[in-house]
Amino acid sequence: MSRSAHPAGPRHADVLPEGHYSAPPADLNTLDPKVWAQTVTRTEDGSVSVGGIGVARLAEEFGTPAYFVDEADFRARARAWRTAFGHDADVFYAGKAFLSRAIVRWLYEEGLNLDVCSGGELTTALSAGMPADRIAFHGNNKSTDEITQAIEAGVGRIVLDSFQEIVRVAHIAQSLGTRQRVQIRVTVGVEAHTHEFIATAHEDQKFGIALADGQAAEAVRRALALDGLELIGIHSHIGSQIFDMAGFEVAARRVVALLAAVRDEHGVELPEIDLGGGLGIAYTSDDDPREPHEIAKALGEIVTRECEAARLRTPRISVEPGRAIVGPTAFTLYEVGTIKPLDGLRTYVSVDGGMSDNIRTALYDAEYSVALVSRTSDAEPMLVRVVGKHCESGDIVVKDAFLPSDLAPGDLIAVPATGAYCRSMASNYNHALRPPVVAVQDGEARVIVRRETEEDLLRLDVG
Ligand code: LLP
């Protein structure tokens, strides 16, 4: 569609309404490596490729919308975490970010462990061959069936989240004639957001057992007294999309203080601590994430220092990154449909997906980037809002971004950094068919989760 085809004319960067954006980038054709997967590049014909395959071919073969995962990038990031933490620590990938059997196999091959938080995630992990002793089982309301399934499978640890669960897990383990390795999840009184952390408010939430008021110490007391449990450590997860290490440092200090208190009271030195996940990634060029080696160094130093001060043996550390491993490795490919310029505001660009494949913008006001990937363009930037095809106005994929003003229906656009919490939180709203996940590497593309079909929908609807 040419510019003149927009009745009101596209909105350019000259006068901009309020929004969460910086000035348009100097060149809309440039792909910022911070937000795109490693092998994503513009080829000579101006289109974009991943793993050596152009997006036009990917769209033709797999349709749109679809998620494309850069397998080499995923493996490299998993390996970077593994290497950064070394052999004295464990990295548990948080499966809630995105889990499939191929992902489980990549994790296994790269030496990572896996954190699951439901019977479904556990079944996926086991069916892809992840050894049970490398799996941690989480959740604030695990069912009796889930606990039984986890213990029977022989999971390496169950992370206990409440006083009732301490008793329930001990009882089920004992009735199965075993002793289950467990950690206790504590809330350390640190609330971590993207850029700040706020002390104290954090006990007011459903996860964990508060350190404050001696609750966590009481949980340790009860767990140590039960034959069905082998208490191996303390767990803390402070939040998500965090860039600042200060919250982790406070958490580590408070967890180590609990270990010291446990040693003083029971004469037992718990051998492990888990500091959870939550490390931030770049969704836009404004985000500056930490590298795994910086995170490993910062956490290692603080734990060692605190343990020396408390004269404790340094426990084995584990972490649970989800988003930081899978998030940057994938993008969602959409075809542009209707384009609606709203004079004085912005141009609404509709795509063939929406909040059913990325709920994060509607749910968390999350920010994303977007680029025209089927060709280059020298047209002026126009301010756009990328929206989906669902029946509500909150169906926004990218709230504020710039795309070239000659954008036309049929163009392919891609939203980077959608590897985490997009497919895993996808829905069938409006009976949308959830998109496939396609792994791309070295010129080969392979479906790892297929697109849903109308038969899938009808199979569940038993009439
Ligand atoms: N460990 C525990 C105990 C967790 O609860 C979580 C995330 C993680 C690890 C992994 O966090 P990550 O490294 O991926 O940030 N749906 C939200 C994120 C919810 C995270 C819940 N727990 C989103 O789309 O941002």
- pLDDT tens digits, one per residue of 71-105: 999 999 999 999 999 999 999 999 999 999 999 99
Q: How far apart are CA 239 and CA 190, in angstroms?
A: 9
Residue closest to 184 by CA, chosen among 91, 81, 262: 262
Nearest atom within ligand 1 for CA of residue 321: 13
pLDDT above 60 (res 4): no
Q: Whose CA is nearest to atom 9 of ligand 1?
A: 277
Burial level of 55, CB count in 10 A (0-12/13-18/19+)? buried
pLDDT above 50 (res 435): yes
For 425-433, what is the mean pLDDT?
A: 98
Determine which one of 117, 307, 391, 422 is catalytic.
391
Between 88 and 117, whose confidence is greater?
117
Between the alpha carbon of residue 362 and those of residues 65, 103, 122, the distances in Å are 18, 27, 29
Nearest atom within ligand 1 for CA of residue 97: 14
| Contact in structure between 369 and 431 (CB atoms under 8 Å) | no
Between 199 and 383, whose confidence is greater?
383
Residue that has been written with the tokens 């889990």 in this structure? 99
- Which tokens go with 204? 């007011």
pLDDT for the residue numbered 19: 66
Q: Whose CA is nearest to atom 15 of ligand 1?
A: 278
Which residues sit with their C-beta closer than 6 Å to ligand 1?
Answer: 94, 96-97, 115, 138, 237, 240-241, 276-279, 320-324, 360, 364, 420-421
| Contact in structure between 219 and 270 (CB atoms under 8 Å) | no
Query: Which of 81, 96, 186, 274 for a ligand 1 pocket mutation test, highest count of atoms within 8 Å of Cβ?
Result: 96
Q: How far apart are CA 276 and CA 160, in angstroms?
A: 14
Query: Does the domain spanning 41-70+328-460 belong to CATH 3.40.50.970?
Result: no
Sheet holding 53-54, edge to edge: 41-42, 48-50, 53-54
* pLDDT tens-digit series, residues 231-287: 999 999 999 999 989 999 999 999 999 999 999 999 999 999 999 999 999 999 999
Q: How far apart are CA 353 and CA 331, in angstroms?
A: 13
Q: What is the DSSP letter of 360?
A: H
Model pTM score? 0.94
Q: Whose CA is nearest to atom 6 of ligand 1?
A: 277
| Contact in structure between 140 and 118 (CB atoms under 8 Å) | no
Q: How far apart are CA 200 and CA 25, in angstroms?
A: 40
Tell me if 41-70+328-460 shares its fold with 138-321: no
Instruction: Specify whether the backbone of 365 is left (phi greater than 0), alpha (psi in -120 to 50) or beta.
Output: left
Span 138-321 CATH architecture: Alpha-Beta Barrel (3.20)
* pLDDT tens-digit series, residues 336-384: 999 999 988 999 999 999 999 999 999 999 999 999 999 999 999 999 9
Q: How far apart are CA 294 and CA 311, in angstroms?
A: 25
Q: Which residues pair with 69 in a beta bridge?
A: 330, 439
The rounded Å distance from CA 386 to ligand 1 centre is 25
Report, in this order, helix, strand and coil percent for the chain, each rounded to 5.
35, 25, 45
Q: Whose CA is nearest to atom 19 of ligand 1?
A: 240
Kindly compute the dihedral angle of the four CA atoms of residues 163, 168, 173, 174, in this order, to the nearest 10 degrees.
Answer: 100
Domain ranges of the chain: 41-70+328-460, 138-321
The rounded Å distance from CA 322 to ligand 1 centre is 7
Lowest mean pLDDT among 9-23, 53-67, 169-183, 268-282: 9-23
Based on the residue annotation, tell me whether 117 is a catalytic residue of this protein: no
Contacts of 404 (CB under 8 A, 6+ apart): 28, 372, 377, 378, 379, 380, 381, 382
